[in-house]
Amino acid sequence: MPFNLATMLRESATTFPDKPLVHVGEQSLAFAQVDEASGRFAATLLARGYAPGEAVAVQLPSLP
């Protein structure tokens, strides 16, 4: 298995599923939640015709 961000996230989600990874204001997401969301996003990209390894751009809102 290649060592990349996706692999690191999956391994961390397995090891620390409930440990907070992302904090935005009063909300936080655990490793497992981020891994699940990234899997859904990847599945959506595949369903829309993007190939694994293909570059995509993601625009997110700027938060304080």
Reported as a single tens digit per residue, the pLDDT across 2-42 is: 778 888 999 999 999 999 999 988 999 999 999 999 999 99
Residue 24's pLDDT is: 84
Which of 22, 56, 19 is CA-nearest to residue 37? Answer: 22
Mean of the pLDDT values across residues 50-60? Answer: 92
Q: Give the pLDDT confidence score for residue 1 in this predicted structure.
A: 61
The SS3 of residue 51 is coil
* Banded pLDDT at 50 (limits 50, 70, 90): very high
pTM across the whole model: 0.80
**Start-to-end C-alpha separation, the chain:** 37
